[in-house]
Structure formats: C-alpha cells, structure tokens
Amino acid sequence: MPILKAEGLSVDYFTQRGRLHAVSDVSFSLEEGESLGIVGESGSGKTTLATALLKLLPMNAEVVSGRVEIQGMDVLSMDEESLNKSLRWRVVSYVPQASQNALDPLYRIDDQFVETVHAHVDMPREEILHKAMELLLRVGVEPSKLRSYPWELSGGQKQRVMIALSLILKPKIVILDEPTTALDTIIQAQILELFRELKEYERLTAIFISHDISVISNVANRVGVMYAGRLVELGSSESVFYTPLHPYTQGLLKSVPDLRSDTPYSYIPGSPPDLVSPPSGCPFHPRCPLAMEICKKINPALEAYDGEHLVACHAVKR
C-alpha cells in the first residue's frame, strides 16, 4: 500500500484576473522509502502541489478536485486540529521554500526546537535538545548554535536548522521545497548524503522539489516533471534522465550547463504560459519543436510508455 497518494489533484487561486489553474489533475503515489524529485520551471506549480498535499494552501486557493491520502488518512477532509495532532510533523514534515525565513527572529534556536516538539508530543527539554544537537551535527551546523537567535546565523545555516527541525519527530515523510538553494555545493552534497542515509537506513520517504535537475538526480529514485501545473513525465530517475520522452524534459536536460564541455548549452525558447488562460490542447504546444495539429486541440493524458515510465505527449509512440 502506498504511504502517500495524490489522485486527480487540481488547485486554483482566485486572482484579480480570474481563476489561475496552478495545479491540474496531478496523480502519483509513493511507497515507503521512495524519494520523488519534482522539477519544473518557476511557476509550474511545484510549491502549490506541496502545500496542497499537506492542506497548507493560502486563503485564496481552492482544491477544485482530487484526493490526498497519507498513511491511509484522507488529508483534505481533515480539520486543522486533527491535521496538527495526527499528521503534520509526526507523519509528514515540510521544509518550505525560503525556509530560512520561517524561523521566528524573537526566539533562540533551542526554544524553537522545544516549542515545535511540545506542540505535538510531551518530551523533556533535555531530551529534545540532545536530539537537536545530534541533528545539527548531521546537517553540519555547530551544536553551540542552539543558543543563537536566527539573525545570528547565515542563510545557509538557517536553512540547515530548518532541515534538522523537520527531522526532530522522526517523520515517515519529509517534503522539502528547494531545500538547498541557500547552500554552497559542499554543504549541499552533505545534506543530500544525509537524506540518502535516512532513506537507506530509516526508510524515510521524501519529496524533493527543485528547479535544479542536478540536485534531483543526486537524491531521487523517481522523478516527476511539471509543466503549467501538470505532471508531464514521471518515472525512475534513470529512465527520465537517460531516456527523457517529453520534449519539455528533453529541453530542460539540454539546458543544464556542462562545465567540462565546450558545447554551447541550449534553452527552451518562449516562456511558461499564463495559467489564468492557458493555451488550448497541450499547454507546451506554443514552445514545442514537435507540435502537431492535434496538440493545439487535445491535451494528452499522462499514460504509460514503458511500465512505470509515464508521459503526456501525442508524439510519443507507445
């Protein structure tokens, strides 16, 4: 049985220009111990998807359709109290995008660890601080920083404190939104190694969201590619990275600069569509080098190409 399942999830925002379709008909499931990487350009709906999974959407958002199941719980029908008591932090924790700003500037880091734990379980302060120190060491932050205020830490240290905080209650699932953007490459590698170990030895399930494909390729065993609020390709990391099927995924991979090669790197022409009035048919058609007549009329469904490798594209022969 999957530990997390999203089925036909669609989310709109109410904006001054009308409804903005941020996430459209997204379905996927994760087994315990799997790690899913979600990639896509800015504005493709990654953060909206993550916050919808935990019912943390802002006030102007509406889940138009779909269902989210985590460890058998029907998340979208739960009220705030039961979400906080039975789901958030204990079963799933979330490291939000720009998480370094999520720490409260008025409280020391040790108090923030204690507050967070006490909001969910009873545990002596000493035990919490002991666990916090262990976790800080694992994310490469000097444990003495527990006595600091957030404004005494660098952006990267704050981001790593948030990652440590997300692990304090030993959740089964962690959702990390752009977890390594404020980190240099050496610290980034250390964090990615930590998650590899947690996956291997503690069967942690993780969703990594990043616009940086190299981060995802280092840590995820499955990859989902989002475009204009839709999952357009989903499969094992090997299949998506070595045999990308969707023209958008192919374009994304070609746009990764290779420092050791002279080949000029390419980019995807055009810009992502306006999600208030997205293009008809396949939303990628105005930018797609393979677009055909049918692409302007019919939005292709995400369907199996080869076993677990799914793609939404009329040009892919099955």
Ligand X SMILES: Nc1ncnc2c1ncn2[C@@H]1O[C@H](COP(=O)(O)OP(=O)(O)OP(=O)(O)O)[C@@H](O)[C@H]1O
Pick from 184, 222, 230, 174: nearest CA to 40: 230
Nearer of residues 20 and 232 to ligand X, judged by Cβ: 20
Q: Which of 63, 143, 290, 309 binds ligand SF4 (CB under 6 A)?
A: 290
Minimum distance from residue 227 beta carbon to ligand SF4 (Å)? 9
315 binds, among Mg ion, ligand SF4, ligand X, none (CB under 5 to 8 A by kind): ligand SF4
Say whether residue 313 binds ligand SF4 (CB under 6 A).
yes
Cβ within 8 Å of residue 182, ≥6 positions away: 100, 155, 156, 158, 159
Say whether residue 198 binds ligand X (CB under 6 A).
no
* Residue 198 main-chain phi, psi, to 5 deg: -65, -35
Say whether residue 101 binds ligand X (CB under 6 A).
no
Minimum distance from residue 257 beta carbon to ligand SF4 (Å)? 24
**What does DSSP assign to residue 84?**
I
Binding mask 81-100 for ligand X (x = CB under 6 A): ----------------x---
Decide if 192 contacts 132 (C-beta within 8 A).
Answer: no
Give residues 122-161 in contact with ligand SF4 (rule: CB under 6 A). none
Using CB atoms within 10 Å of the CB of residue 289, give its burial: 0 to 12 exposed, 13 to 18 middle, 19+ buried. exposed
How far is Cα 172 from Cα 3, in angstroms, rounded to an integer?
9
Residues in contact with ligand SF4 by CB under 6 A are: 246-247, 282, 284-285, 288, 290-292, 295, 300, 313-315
Site residues for ligand X per CB under 6 A: 13, 15, 20, 22, 40, 42-48, 58, 60, 97, 211, 275
